[in-house]
Amino acid sequence: MSEPLLHARGLVRTYHGGVRELAALRDVSIEVATGDWVAVTGPSGCGKSTLLHLLGGLDRPDRGEVWLAGHRMDTRPESERAMLRRRHVGFVFQFLNLVPTMTVAGNVELPLVLQGVGRRDARRRVLEVLDELGVAEVADAAPAELSGGQQQRVALARAVVHRPDVLLADEPTGALDSAAAETVLDLLRRRHQEGQSIVLVTHDHRVAAAADRVVTMLDGQIADERDLTGSAGRPAFGNLIDLEG
């Protein structure tokens, strides 16, 4: 049996603030195989974003292990974790982190520049993914000129343009109206069909219902895990009923 693309064992993460301690994660383990789409749900403050940051090597656990593409992430210095992220991971952050002094196209092109992709090929790939997400017309605009929903789609374009092994997305449809959210879901479905692994944090059961598997977190632990692949061929509404049952 092959090793999962991304897996974590026994993750514990506690934040210290003065005299108080916040246990963000308590002994969390998760596996993501190549081509898996995992939705992580749960109430605010349950540890979803902390888990995503640990899986991507943006933070280190107090205890536990994180493995990405056969490399142990949590024991490596930041410079090595950054190199592994650049090679294997696409991120969509809750606060987007677009570079304000660069155009939309420049922001999306950044991962390709870091990979050494030629300028002409990079520009083509940037415009293709912006067009898929319905924001090609703002390619030369600054992020500050965009609506919140447009900025969110640009952040997603930046995360997928270099075709990472795994996409880690924190509420990628959170600021979108229903039409824009469906555009994002369509792109994620296409990438998933092409073999893209996805770990997506969401509060929206309609978004979670598109995944292969739904992990529900509560108080820093995994409270429930449901496999939706058994309902292959059913509409997302059928999966939504499964989640709410």
CATH number at residue 223: 3.40.50.300
d(CA 101, CA 111): 16
Q: Nearest-CA neighbor of 96 among 160, 155, 171, 168?
A: 155
- Please tell me the predicted confidence (pLDDT) of residue 235: 46
Sequence-distant (6+) residues with CB within 8 A of 117 are 125, 162
pLDDT recorded at residue 124:
96
Q: Enter the pTM of the model.
A: 0.89
Domain that holds residue 66: 6-244
Confidence band (pLDDT; 50, 70, 90) for 2? low
When pLDDT is cut at 50, 70 and 90, the band that residue 111 belongs to is very high
Number of domains in the chain: 1
Classify residue 165 by its DSSP letter: S
Residue 27 counted as domain residue = yes
What tokens does 118 get? 């030629």
pLDDT of residue 1 exceeding 60: no
Average pLDDT over residues 161-175: 92
Tell me the average pLDDT of the chain: 90
Average pLDDT over residues 168-188: 90
What is the mean predicted confidence (pLDDT) over 103-110? 96
Residue of 128, 111, 109 lying closest to 119 (CA atoms):
109
Alpha-helical runs (H) found in the chain = 48-55, 78-88, 104-114, 119-132, 148-160, 178-193, 205-208, 236-244
> Given a cut of 80, is residue 71 above it in pLDDT?
yes
Share of the chain above pLDDT 90, in %: 73
pLDDT at site 17: 74
The 10 Å CB-count burial string (b at 16+, else e) for 182-194 is ebbbebbeebbee
Candidates 80, 67, 63, 74; CA nearest to 4 is 67
What pLDDT sits at residue 95?
Answer: 80
* Tens-place pLDDT, residues 193-216: 999 999 999 988 889 999 999 999
CA atoms of 137 and 141, how far apart (whole Å): 9
Residues 161-181 have a mean pLDDT of 91
Question: Is the residue at 198 inside a domain?
Answer: yes
Lowest mean pLDDT among 1-5, 82-86, 169-173, 229-233: 229-233
Question: Which residues on adjacent β-strands are paired with residue 236?
Answer: none
Answer yes or no: is 144 within a domain.
Answer: yes
Whether residue 233 has pLDDT greater than 50 = no
In a domain, 83, yes or no: yes
Percent of the chain at pLDDT exceeding 70: 92
Q: Which residue has the tokens 């930041």?
A: 78
Kindly state the average pLDDT of the residues 117-139: 95
Query: Stretch 175-194: mean pLDDT, rounded?
Result: 90
Would you place residue 243 in the very low, low, confident or very high pLDDT band (cuts 50, 70, 90)?
Answer: low
Could you tell me if residue 38 is inside a domain?
yes
Q: Residues 51, 11: contact at Cβ < 8 Å?
A: yes
In-domain check, residue 132: yes
Q: Can you tell me whether residue 216 is helix, strand or coil?
A: strand
Q: Is 126 part of any domain?
A: yes
**Residue 1 within any structural domain of the chain:** no
**What is the residue type of 189?**
R
The 10 Å CB-count burial string (b at 16+, else e) for 220-234 is bebeeebebeeeeee
CA dihedral sign of residues 93, 98, 104, 109: negative
